[in-house]
Amino acid sequence: MTSVMSATATNVTWPKTRPRTLFKSLVEMMPGLLLNVHRIHDWCTEVLERCHCTFLFKGLWFANMNMLVTCDPADVHHIMSSNFANFPKGSEFKQMFDILGDGIFNSDMDLWKNQRTVAQGFMRNQRLHNLLLRTSQYKVEGGLIPVMDHFAKLGLVAGIEDVFQRFTFVATCILVTGHNPRCLSIEFPQVLFSKALDDAEEAIFYRHGRPLCFIKLQRKDLNRGSNSISETVEEGVDLLTSYTTEEKSTGLECDDKFLRDTILNMMLAGRDTTSSALTWFVWLVSCHPIVENKIIEELQSKIPAEETRKRRVFKAEEVKNLTYLHGALCEALRLYPPVPFQHKEHLKPDVLPSGHRVHPNMKILFNLYSMGRMKSIWGKIALNSSLKDGLTSEEVLNMSRPSKFLSFNAGARTCLGKEAAFGQMKSVASAIVYNYRIHVSDQTPIVPAISIILHTKHGLMPKISTR
C-alpha cells in the first residue's frame, strides 16, 4: 500500500513535464486509486499534500478520467471568481448529475443567471424567511426533542444521522413545497424519496470513473413511489407557490419539468448538506469536551442565571450572534465539508496561478475535503488541533476567505441559502449540546462514506442521555 501511495504521489505531471503515457497511467495512478477508493478522501489529501495542493491525474483513456485535482486557494479563486466566465460546470457535469435536470446546480450561462436572480429574490422575501425560522423552531420543539427524549429515556442507541436527515427533509419540504411529510417521529416511518436520493448520490459518485456511454446505458427511473405528504403549513409562502404565482414577473417558463427540476435541486441541497454538517459537528463536539463546555457556557450567557439549569430550546435571535458556536460549526464544515468535491470544465485554454495549464479534454476537480486539511493552507490547525486546544484560533473563528473555506461555494455561485443554513444548524446544535450528552462508542470508526455528499460510512450511533 505504501509503495503504491509513494509512486502515485511522486509520478505527478507538473508544468512543462512530458505527458504521461497510457502504460504509466495504468501501472502508477490507477492502482493507487483502486486500492484506496474505500478511503478516497484521505488518499487524495495525502497525495495533494505531497504535490503542493495540485496534481494531474491520468486515468484510462476510455473512462475520460484525465483531471487536474486541486485544493490550491489561488487556483480556486481564479476559477470561481477572477476568471469565472471561462469555467462553467459543463455538459459532462450535467450528464453525471442528470437527475437534477436543468435546475440551478446543473445549469450554466444565461439559464443559470436567470434562475439565480429569481431564486435570490425569493430567498430575500421576508415571509419566506419567517417561514424558515418558524419551521426550524417548530420542528426542534415538536420533532427533534421528543425523538431525542425517547432515545434517552429507553437507553437506546440513536441513529443521529438519520434523525438529522429527517429533520432537514421535513424543514426543506415545508420551505419548498409548503407541506409536511411528518417523518420525524419515534415511529421513524419509511421515506422512499430520501432513500432514492441516497442511492442516486452514491451512483453519481461512481460515475466519475465510468465512461459517459456506460452512464447512458445504466440510466433508469429513480421513482420509488411516493410518501404521503400532508399538512399545509402556510398557504402561499413556499417556494413552489412563489414560482407558479409569479411566473410572469420572473420571465421563467414554470412548466412541470422546470418545477420538478427546481424542487429536486432544492430538496437535495436543503436535506443533505445541513444534515451532514450537523452529524459531523455533533461527533466532533462529543470527542472534544473543552469545545462542548465552551459552547454551553456561551449559550448560558444568553439566558437568565436562574434558567441555566433548565432544559431549553433557543430562539433564532438568541443564537444568531454566538461567535463560539459559529466557529465550532465552521470548524466542522472545514474538516468535513458536506460536498467534499466539485468539478469544472473550461471554454478556453488557461494557466492557473499554480502554473498548471488546463487544456481540452481535461476536467478540473476541487477537493474541498483536502483543502480543509492542508498544512500549507491552515498551518498548525490543519488536522483538528484547533479542537484539541479548545478552538481558540482566530483563523478558524474568522473564516473570511471563501477561496479556502469553500463549504458554501465562492464567487458568483456562492450558496444562496448560506445564512438560512447557519440559522438552522445553530437552532439544532444549540438544542442538542445544551440538553443532551452524546456518548459515541470507540468501537465503530466514524469515517466518510463514498458519495457526493459526505455522509458517515456506518452512521453515527451514539447513546443519548439528558443533562
Give pLDDT, residue 224. 46
Give pLDDT, residue 232. 41
Tell whether 131 and 203 lie within a shared domain: yes
Tell whether 462 and 385 lie within a shared domain: yes
What's the sign of the alpha-carbon dihedral 141, 142, 143, 147?
positive
Q: Per-residue pLDDT for 392 more than 80? A: no
Q: Per-residue pLDDT for 325 more than 80? A: yes
Q: How far apart are CA 441 and CA 463, in angstroms?
A: 8
Whose CA is closest to 341, among 237, 201, 155, 181? 201
C-alpha cell at 10: 511522486
Tell whether 354 and 309 lie within a shared domain: no
- The full length of the chain comes to 467
Question: pLDDT tens, 150-162?
Answer: 999 998 888 999 9
| Mean pLDDT in residue range 10-15 | 38
Q: Per-residue pLDDT for 136 more than 50? A: yes
Tell whether 332 and 344 lie within a shared domain: no
Give pLDDT, residue 60. 60
Tell whether 323 and 408 lie within a shared domain: yes
Give pLDDT, residue 389. 67
pLDDT band, very low/low/confident/very high, at 65 (cuts 50, 70, 90): low
Give pLDDT, residue 133. 83
Question: pLDDT tens, 210-221?
Answer: 555 444 444 444
Q: Per-residue pLDDT for 295 more than 50? A: yes
Tell whether 179 and 226 lie within a shared domain: yes
- Domain range for 42: 1-82+339-371
pTM score: 0.85
Tell whether 1 and 70 lie within a shared domain: yes
Tell whether 265 and 122 lie within a shared domain: yes
Tell whether 330 and 349 lie within a shared domain: no
Estimate to the nearest angstrom the gap between the alpha carbon of 51 and the chain centroid.
25
What CATH number corresponds to the domain at position 184?
A: 1.10.630.10
Domain boundary among 355, 371, 387: 371
Give pLDDT, residue 406. 87
Give pLDDT, residue 215. 45
Tell whether 265 and 361 lie within a shared domain: no
| Mean pLDDT in residue range 61-78 | 82
Domain boundary among 371, 391, 419: 371
Question: pLDDT tens, 342-391?
Answer: 889 889 999 999 999 998 778 899 999 999 999 888 887 777 666 766 66
Question: pLDDT tens, 227-286?
Answer: 333 344 444 578 898 898 888 888 888 999 999 999 989 988 888 899 999 999 999 999
| Mean pLDDT in residue range 6-23 | 38
pLDDT band, very low/low/confident/very high, at 298 (cuts 50, 70, 90): very high
Of 11-15, 145-149, 198-202, 458-462, the range with the highest mean pLDDT is 145-149
Q: Per-residue pLDDT for 8 more than 50? A: no
Give pLDDT, residue 130. 82
Contact indicator for 209, 36 with CB cutoff of 8 Å: no
Domain boundary among 371, 394, 425: 371
**For the purposes of burial, counting CB atoms within 10 Å of the CB of 417, is it exposed (0-12), middle (13-18) or buried (19 or more)?**
buried
Would the annotation count 415 as a binding residue?
A: yes
Tell whether 167 and 269 lie within a shared domain: yes
- How many structural domains does the chain have? 2
Which range among 3-17, 325-339, 356-370, 393-407 shows the weakest confidence by mean pLDDT?
3-17
Estimate to the nearest angstrom the gap between the alpha carbon of 339 and the chain centroid.
3
In the block, residue with C-alpha cell 419539468: 257
Taking each helix axis from N to C end, the angle separating 192-207 and 160-177, rounded to the nearest 10 degrees, works out to 100
Q: Per-residue pLDDT for 326 more than 50? A: yes
Tell whether 128 and 39 lie within a shared domain: no
